[in-house]
Amino acid sequence: MNRLYYDDAYTRSFEADIIERTEVEGKLALVLSHTYFYPTGGGQPNDTGRIHSAQILDVLTRESDKAVLHIIDRPVDENHVHASIAWSRRFDHMQQHTGQHVLTQAFVQTAGFNTVGFHLSDASLTLDLDTPSASAESISTAEMLANQIIWEDRPVKAHIVDPDHAEDVRMRKMPEHLLTGGLRVIEIENFDSTACGGTHVKRTGEIGIIKVLRSEKRGSKMRLEFACGGRALRDYTAKNMLANQLTTELTVGLDEVPLAVARLQEQIKASQHALKNTQEALLRFEGDSLLRSAQKCGSFNLICATFEGRDAANLRLLASQLARHPQIVALLASADERVNLAFARSTDLDLDMAALLNQTLAPFGGRGGGQPVLAQGSAPATKDQIEAALQTLSISLCSR
Ligand SMILES: [Zn+2]
């Protein structure tokens, strides 16, 4: 077997002969006389790195003969080549993968939960437990045992077992297929044995730490997101920075942050309520002043006003406020980048404000909508243009 990572997960560079040049989906691929590159499989992503001057894009197993295909970004003419593995990526996979073995066995021993799924990528690390619910306490107990096993720095060893005698080894999981000619068993001393073809650290201490980050119910299973070693450190660094930012911004201790946030939310709610009351009072006051300036116009009183920088909601509130009084027609506009219009009338009158509004906006290519009593809309017009249009409309309404 030419997959040397099975026996040695720590070699980072090596020399080999190219024994085949081929293509996979239009990309160049090499088969080497032997390799330390890990191909995607068993829940562990492929290694990357270089072969001579070429970058490795992917490493995979050819279905027909189980050869390891190294997908590269440019041709390599030499037949004897130097190759190097991108170590930080590989070691991260070794930490996370071995950490999963430890955490999985910790759940078996402390809660009787079995792992039925495992996912490792650059972005996430999860395992699925065969239980619909796992309490925070049971997760914490398993996590504690897992870290204990790490701190005891137990040896992690790979054995090849004759498949016919596999029954003799007490194993958590049997493999789906065999690549090694025998059954490859990964043993964490006096703790866990399982069939696995991945790359692992040689002592549990190298995992560093295991931290479960969150859990989520997924049908009849629980999915746990966790982080080991370098990933756990990066996660802690990010969260610690965030915690320091929060305590500085809120000028409280870390344990007081939730209370401080709840207090802020209360204050915002109270402020919003007070602001709404003030705005309503202001609108009533403004409405009263507009009512006094209303122009008598046959059977009703006409209020026509143009503002600047008022938003559509505020303009509508003012218009409907005015129309609560009897015999009022209010034609309001606010000029900004566009012009907003709000037309309203008292219920004791018979005018279609939506029709009047659309008729006013049409020359400017604007649109509106609403009811016969209250309508609003906007158009790309200037203040002068809309004032002139409202003037014309007022004259036509008053001469009815
Ligand atoms: Zn493994």
Q: Where are the domains of the chain?
A: 4-85, 90-246, 252-285, 293-398
- Span of 66-70, 163-167, 269-273 with lowest mean pLDDT: 163-167
What pTM, to 2 d.p., does this model score? 0.75
What separation in Å is there between the alpha carbon of 390 and the centre of ligand 1?
77
Top CATH class, 4-85? mainly beta
pLDDT number for residue 176: 53
Cα(193) to centroid of ligand 1, in Å? 10
pLDDT of residue 1: 58
Structural domain 293-398, CATH architecture: Roll (3.10)
> Could you tell me the distance, in angstroms and rounded to a whole number, from the CA of residue 52 to the centre of ligand 1?
29
Q: How far apart are CA 59 and CA 48, in angstroms?
A: 7
How far, in Å, is the centroid of ligand 1 from the Cα of 107?
16
Q: In this predicted model, what pLDDT tens digit does every residue of 348-378 receive, in sequence order?
A: 999 999 999 999 999 999 989 999 999 999 9
Q: Compute, in angstroms, the gap from residue 199 CA to the centroid of ligand 1.
A: 6
Query: Is the confidence at residue 242, as pLDDT, over 70?
Result: yes
- Stretch 34-49: mean pLDDT, rounded? 93
pLDDT greater than 70 at residue 275: yes
Report CA(196)–ligand 1 centroid distance (Å): 5
pLDDT of residue 76: 96
Q: Nearest to residue 33, comparing CAs of 15, 47, 55?
A: 15
HSE value, Cβ hemisphere, 13 Å, CA-based, for 302: 19
**Ligand 1 centroid to residue 44 C-alpha, Å:** 8
Give the pLDDT of residue 384: 93
Q: From the CA of 57, how far away is ligand 1's center (Å)?
A: 23
Domain 90-246 CATH superfamily: Threonyl-trna Synthetase; Chain A, domain 2 (3.30.980.10)
pLDDT reported for residue 82 = 98
Query: Is the predicted pLDDT of residue 168 greater than 80, yes or no?
Result: no
Tell me what the pLDDT averaged over the chain comes to. 93
Return the pLDDT at 123: 87
| Bridging pattern class, strands 367-370 and 374-379 | antiparallel
What's the pLDDT score for residue 62?
95
CA 382 from centre of chain? 43
Cβ-based neighbour number of residue 356 at 10 Å: 21
pLDDT at 180 over 90: no
Going from the Cα of 31 to the center of ligand 1, the distance in angstroms, rounded, reads 24
CA of 337 to the centre of ligand 1 (A): 63
